[in-house]
Structure 1
Amino acid sequence: MTTRRHLYGWATPNTHRVSILLEELGLPYSVTGVNIRAREQFAPEILALNPFGKVPILVEETDGAPPLVLFESGAILIHLAEAHGRFLPGAGVARADTLAWLMVALTGVGPATAQAHHWLGLAPEKPDPAQAYARAVVDRVYRFLDGRLAEVPYLAGTDISIADFAAYPWVARHGWAERDLAETPHLAAWFARLGQRPGVRAGMAVPEGVVLA
């Protein structure tokens, strides 16, 4: 059976989580750009796929079966990793650790960086307490990751996993938080190591030619 995959997304960290995994798995897929700055995520055809009006969205069509529509980046990562038997152990401590660090990326790294981006860059008014709080949250998360990566090469342990792919695109936006990675050298080394992977580089360039400031 042939499976056709279509990714709806933009040059956002959450979209790049999925495009990186697709590239790392070597899976063919097509892309539709959804410009979030132009609010295209609220177009009727996107809301029909994800009523929450968010990207990424992955649609899989397999001959003889109804389309599988997946949204929320973490859910897509788990689905792809389980379906293809890579980057997420099947059982035991290794699986538990991978899922735990995936949740750190989903609920810690991403939201902290996004909040900093808002208060330090996007907000029309930037009160000092809000900026200080945003910087402090990012600092806590980054130092937490740095401590972990002082002990192991990848977030879930000795092997690269979807936890790394979930965290990397947000760490790539450390400039949004006015953060210098040199302050967390183990995190900086991990970031450099992942950035050398062809799959990561290719995934970070999706959609082609799009840059999100």
Structure 2
Amino acid sequence: MLSLYYSATPNGQKVRLYLESFNLPYHLIPIRLSKGEQFTPEFSALSPNNKIPVLVDPCDHTRPVTVFESCAILHYLATKTGHGLSPEPTLQQETLQWLFWQASSLGPMAGQAGYFRVFCDQRIDHAMTRYTRELDRLYRVLDKRLAQREWIIGDSYSIADIACYPWIVPHAAHGQDLEALPHLRRWFEAIAARDGTRRAYAGVEDVYGLPEPLTSDERRTLFSGPSNANPES
């Protein structure tokens, strides 16, 4: 059975959403990021970048495959199962372009907007404005893309949709309003209504609406690494 090392961040939710969307059995292994579990030697051996998610595929039970980086995991699973990635070369290339767009643009800008708007322990107006405006631009790119098609890649629900959706879920915390983006809103609501999405998000807390504020130690661990880490290493 597949093993998913996971926390309920947007990147963690990408892989869980894929597995639930295509009814693939898996074992979920929670990693508590604010407690520094991503920096243990055992996890570092799986993920050299000390980030979730990580997928371990036992394959033939003698040589398991370990994949880190959420979009790499999505591509691995789609290639292995045939779900979410068209075999047609042009559509496959189109899917990868939007997968990389999510990894290089939507995710990083949303992450920065979320950090400066929610998690930063001081208000930095310039940073908040910079990332919120750039995220608005990216939302409009996606809205335009969806104006003439049901899904990001035409008629087929793909790993491009699965990669982008979890980063749109916290749109309000990121300072974005879907009401002005009808095509993006329609797409977002369609994914939210899918059975696999409901299963993937069942019981998942909003990471931008924590019931208790992070302590200074938890914030340092989550965003800077453990206190005993060498920042120059």
Is TM-score (shorter-chain normalized) higher than 0.5? yes
Contact 1:21 1:77 in 2 (8 A): yes
- In structure 2, C-alpha distance between the alignment counterparts of 1:140 and 1:167, rounded to whole Å: 15
AA at the equivalent of 2:14: R
Q: 1:177 aligns to what?
A: 174
Residue pair 1:6, 1:29 contacting (<8 A) in 2 also:
yes
CA contact (8 A) 1:113 1:176 kept: no
Q: Percent identity?
A: 37
Say whether 1:18 aligns with 2:26.
no
Whole-angstrom distance in 1 between the partners of 2:205 and 2:40: 19
1:36-47 paired onto structure 2 within 5 Å:
36-47=33-44
User: Following TM superposition, by how much is the alpha carbon of 1:59 offset from its aligned partner in structure 2, in angstroms?
Assistant: 0.6
Q: Which residue of the partner structure matches residue 227 of structure 2?
A: none
* Moved >3 Å (runs of 4+): 208-211
Aligned to 1:147: 144
What whole-Å deviation, never above 9, does each CA across 1:127-154 have from its counterpart, x for those lacking one?
A: 2211110111111100000111111111
Give 1:63 deviation, angstroms.
3.5
C-alpha deviation, 1:36, in angstroms: 1.2
- Tell me the TM-score normalized by structure 2: 0.85
Q: CA deviation at 1:176?
A: 2.4
Aligned to 2:116, what secondary structure does the other structure show?
Answer: helix
Find the counterpart in structure 2 of residue 58 from structure 1. 55
C-alpha displacement of 1:26:
1.2
Deviation at 1:210, TM superposition (A): 4.9
RMSD between superposed Cα atoms in Å: 1.4
2 CA distance for matches of 1:209 and 1:91?
35
Q: Distance in 1 between matches of 2:115 and 2:205?
A: 20
When structure 1 is superposed on structure 2, of 93-102 and 159-168 the one drifting more is 93-102
Match of 1:203?
Answer: 200
The runs of 5 or more residues in structure 2 that have no matched partner are 209-233
1:81 to 62, 74, 78: 78
- Larger RCO: 1 or 2 (CA < 8 Å, sep 6+): 1
Counterpart of 1:151, as a letter, is Q
1:164–1:81 Cα change, 3 Å: same
User: How many residue pairs align between the two structures?
Assistant: 208
Of residues 90, 109, 112, the one that matches 1:112 is 109
Q: Per the alignment, in what secondary structure is the counterpart of residue 80 of structure 1? A: helix
**Among 126, 130, 134, which residue is 1:129 paired with?**
126
Give the conservation status (yes or no) of the 8 Å contact 2:8–2:204.
no
SS of the aligned residue for 1:111 comes to: helix
Structure 1: stretches of 5+ with no match in the other structure: none
**Equivalent residue for 2:207?**
212
The alpha-carbon deviation at position 52 of structure 1 amounts to 0.9
Shift of 1:183: 1.9
